[in-house]
């Protein structure tokens, strides 16, 4: 949280200094802005250099973990299937919800134009999304190495997914060797990301200063608008947990809400689903979920699946497209939704700033949306990340209760430990 506050402080100071200096047209402004643009650009490039190897490594290890979990028995397989369905459902909700919210409450035209000017490097790199036929033709890469070199992330993700599925069919020794290799690459890339994020206050300050010069105080209102729109996608996924608990788990709404509060409190204070796991186990115990079910389903959920991530990641990209005036056809949004759902499997259970760029970049590239604004938006990720974590924790408890109920029904028992437990 200390680093989060430093980055947020750098954002505020950068916008304030840029706004004030730009308003009075102080001496040296014309020479300072290019230096700030260079500094922010170098910092962003430092993050971008880790994206390709990190996305590939995390996707391979994520799919391998999913397959290993499914091999552990029917309960693990059932848990994997439930969480995969919930991931796709939350993504579909965001794909409909966010364009609708932006139609009802668009970013102010003046603010959007000023922000585009403040991030001119991004505006220069906007590329049109391919048509449907061109998109279908480009899905399968003829040369995965060339796809990586050209930042063609969607074909690279397709190849990596197929490769990871092939790895899961290898003998145990070969499978462990390859997953260990890619796991080590992911760990090394995360160390580099940590180093670059240590410099984030400098990079964010430089970018915010440039935006402040061009956009002035409208940048603050635009960022608040962004936080509300993106958080709405997470709140929708979070809200989905309650009907899952009621209709899937057979629980009363007040009882489920009371049992989830301790885990939600830990999630708010730590921004980590992993740190919330003990509280989630206690919550499922209060709901009458058998320990044998919770001890399998919850670790799988924490290690592999985060239900709010694809919805909120897709929302970020849709918002940037709206910001830059890029029209998104339904097919383009559907493409982004598919990429969001697939890449979430390989994301890491760490505070959102660590995985923000690596999770969202593949979606943006597949939709023809610039990624440079992400370097500025990462500074305000703290609030959406709180929504992400609390939503994930709440859904994990609800889905585990639903899985426990389905297991008991399948076994043909007349006593359901979830639905018949005393209120």
CA atoms within 13 A on the CB side of 329: 11
pLDDT at position 418: 44
Length of the chain: 423
Determine contact, residues 389/379, Cβ cutoff 8 Å.
Answer: no
Q: What's the confidence (pLDDT) of residue 81?
A: 84
Contact 401, 283 (CB under 8 A): no
In 3D space, the residue among 213, 317, 224, 308 whose CA is nearest the CA of residue 264 turns out to be 308
**Alpha-carbon distances of 252 from 239, 258, 332, 419, rounded to whole Å:** 15, 10, 39, 9
**356 inside domain:** yes
Q: Is 77 domain-assigned? A: yes
d(CA 89, CA 73): 25
415: in domain: no
Q: Is residue 420 part of a domain?
A: no
Alpha-helical runs (H) found in 72-171 = 74-104, 109-118, 120-124, 132-138, 144-149, 153-167
State the pLDDT at residue 50.
77
For position 92, what pLDDT does the model report?
A: 92
Tell me how far CA of residue 205 lies from CA of 100, 183, 223, 375, in angstroms: 32, 33, 15, 11
Domain tally for the chain? 1
pLDDT of residue 72: 60
Q: Does 421 map to a domain?
A: no
349 lies in a domain?
A: yes
Q: What is the pLDDT along the chain (423 residues), one digit of tens a residue?
A: 566 677 778 877 887 887 787 776 767 777 787 888 788 778 777 877 877 787 788 778 777 777 776 666 677 778 888 888 888 899 999 999 999 999 998 887 776 776 676 665 444 444 444 555 555 555 667 777 777 776 666 677 778 878 888 888 888 888 889 888 988 988 888 788 778 878 878 887 887 787 777 666 666 777 888 889 999 999 998 999 999 999 998 999 999 999 998 888 888 766 677 778 888 888 898 898 888 788 878 877 776 678 888 899 999 999 999 888 888 888 888 888 888 887 776 555 555 555 677 778 788 887 888 877 887 787 777 778 888 889 999 999 999 999 888 877 765 544 444 444 444
* CA pair distance 121, 372, nearest whole angstrom: 8
- Residue 95's pLDDT is 92
CATH number at residue 361: 1.10.3860
Would 99 be classed as within a structural domain?
Answer: yes
Q: Residue 32 is part of which domain span?
A: 2-410
pLDDT at 397: 92
Q: How far is the C-alpha of 186 from the C-alpha of 181, rounded, in Å? A: 9
Q: Tokens standing for 85?
A: 């369905």
Confidence (pLDDT) at 247:
93
Nearest partner of 271 among 189, 361, 353, 199, judged by Cα: 353
397 is a domain residue: yes
Per-residue pLDDT at 420 = 43
């Amino acid at each position: 949280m200390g680093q989060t506050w430093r980055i947020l402080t750098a954002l505020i100071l950068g916008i304030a200094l840029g706004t004030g200096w730009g308003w009075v047209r102080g001496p040296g402004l014309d020479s300072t802005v290019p230096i700030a643009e260079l500094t922010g650009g170098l910092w962003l490039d430092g993050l971008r250099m880790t994206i390709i190897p990190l996305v590939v490594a995390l996707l391979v290890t994520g799919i391998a973990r999913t397959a290993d979990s499914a091999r552990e028995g029917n309960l693990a397989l059932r848990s994997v299937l439930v969480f995969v369905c919930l991931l796709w459902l939350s993504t579909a909700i965001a794909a409909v919800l966010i364009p609708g919210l932006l139609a009802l409450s668009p970013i102010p035209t003046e603010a959007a134009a000023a922000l585009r000017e403040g991030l001119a490097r991004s505006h220069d790199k906007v590329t049109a999304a391919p048509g449907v036929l061109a998109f279908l033709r480009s899905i399968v890469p003829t040369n995965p190495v060339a796809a990586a070199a050209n930042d063609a992330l969607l074909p690279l993700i397709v190849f990596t997914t197929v490769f990871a599925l092939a790895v899961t069919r290898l003998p145990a020794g070969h499978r462990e060797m390859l997953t260990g290799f890619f796991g080590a690459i992911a760990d090394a890339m995360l160390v580099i990301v940590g180093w670059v994020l240590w410099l984030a206050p400098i990079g964010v300050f430089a970018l915010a200063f440039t935006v402040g010069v061009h956009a002035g105080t409208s940048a603050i209102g635009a960022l608040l608008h962004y936080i509300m729109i993106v958080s709405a996608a997470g709140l929708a996924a979070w809200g989905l947990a309650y009907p899952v608990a009621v209709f899937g788990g057979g629980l009363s709404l007040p009882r489920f809400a009371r049992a989830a509060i301790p885990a939600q409190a830990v999630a708010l204070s730590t921004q980590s689903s992993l740190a919330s796991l003990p509280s989630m186990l206690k919550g499922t115990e209060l709901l009458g979920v058998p320990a044998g079910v919770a001890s399998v389903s919850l670790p799988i959920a924490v290690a592999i699946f985060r239900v709010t991530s694809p919805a909120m990641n897709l929302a970020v990209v849709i918002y940037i497209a709206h910001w830059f005036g890029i029209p998104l056809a339904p097919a383009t949004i559907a493409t982004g939704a598919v990429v969001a759902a697939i890449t979430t499997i390989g994301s890491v259970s760490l505070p959102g700033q660590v995985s923000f760029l690596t999770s969202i970049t593949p979606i943006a590239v597949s939709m023809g949306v610039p990624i440079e604004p992400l370097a500025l938006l990462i500074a305000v990720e703290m609030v959406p990340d709180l929504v992400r974590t609390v939503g994930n924790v709440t859904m994990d408890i609800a889905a585990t209760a639903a899985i426990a109920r389905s297991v008991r029904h399948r076994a043909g028992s007349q006593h359901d430990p979830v639905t018949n437990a005393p209120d």
